Amino acid sequence: MKFARDLWLVFQRHMTLLVRSPVWIAVGLAQPVVYLAFFAPLLRGALATPAGPASYATAYMVYVPGLLIAIAGFGGLFSGLGVLAELRAGIIERIRVTPVSRSALLLGRALREVANMVIQGLVITVLAVPLGLTLPLVDVLLGYLLFALAALMATSLSYGFGLLIRNEAALGPVINAVAQPLMLLGGVLLPLTLAPLWLRRVAAWNPFYWATSALRALFAGHLGQPVVWQGLLVVAGMTCLAVAWSARMFARSLR
């Protein structure tokens, strides 16, 4: 009960800071909106079949889920820079003297990052509806749960790596070197059904690939496909491991 209360207090504090600086939400939306407007229409030709070109609705059905996972991946993996900035500024050191749970300090901040990415994802999804995207409500709600789990997984991994490296100048290039291949192997730009067999086999080791595949199936209304439940299990399992690891690293850093 105390942990839940501490978690809510930390989450509330960080959400208040986010609301006071809404420019960060706008900045986070800039690149996804550009990709939605200028890249997604190109998929209509890439997804063409012998029967003719794909519709714009099909293009957005494929691309929007991938874009959501890209938001979760890139947004989450770079969030560790914020923890290092707070450690350097002594903010976390001052909070350390309070009776707040150490795990709640980290998880409350991570949930703020997840909430920020979910807000961005909702805006992207709403913008895609007039462009042809159709939304099966129940499936999409489950899809957003998957999206939130992927965002929490990426954020927790970033926190862990940040606390391990403890150098903002080094963390940025490391995360950038890791994030790009993870997102490309996740099939966020193009579905990996278009890729050669060896690339699909490599991608099968990437949790973001499972998240993207499951989210595309959900947006298409295919709730019963095995990939949906496989993706949920993989992402949920990896999220639990990532949260536990980052919480352990955070507790060690405050000793």
The answer to whether residue 68 scores a pLDDT higher than 90 is yes
Confidence of residue 171 (pLDDT cuts 50, 70, 90): confident
Confidence of residue 92 (pLDDT cuts 50, 70, 90): low
How confident is the model at residue 52, as a pLDDT? 52
How confident is the model at residue 226, as a pLDDT? 92
How confident is the model at residue 255, as a pLDDT? 59
Overall number of domains in the chain:
1
How confident is the model at residue 172, as a pLDDT? 81
Mean pLDDT computed over every residue of the chain: 83
The answer to whether residue 238 scores a pLDDT higher than 70 is yes
How confident is the model at residue 235, as a pLDDT? 95
Mean pLDDT within 55-69: 83
Mean pLDDT within 67-86: 87
Confidence of residue 29 (pLDDT cuts 50, 70, 90): confident
Domain extent at residue 237: 2-253
The answer to whether residue 179 scores a pLDDT higher than 60 is yes
How confident is the model at residue 147, as a pLDDT? 96
The answer to whether residue 50 scores a pLDDT higher than 60 is no
Confidence of residue 211 (pLDDT cuts 50, 70, 90): very high
Mean pLDDT within 166-174: 81
* Model confidence pLDDT, tens digit, residues 114-149: 998 999 899 899 888 888 788 888 888 999 999 999
Three-class SS of the chain: CHHHHHHHHHHHHHHHHHHHCCHHHHHHHHHHHHHHHHCHHHHHHHCCECCECCCHHHHHHHHHHHHHHHHHHHHHHCCHHHHHHHHHHCHHHHHCCCCCCHHHHHHHHHHHHHHHHHHHHHHHHHHHCCCCCCCCHHHHHHHHHHHHHHHHHHHHHHHHHHHHHCCHHHHHHHHHHHHHHHHHHCCCCCCHHHCCHHHHHHHCCCHHHHHHHHHHHHHCCCCCCHHHHHHHHHHHHHHHHHHHHHHHHHHHHCC
Mean pLDDT within 23-50: 73
How confident is the model at residue 236, as a pLDDT? 96
The answer to whether residue 253 scores a pLDDT higher than 60 is yes
The answer to whether residue 219 scores a pLDDT higher than 60 is yes
What is the model's pTM?
0.89
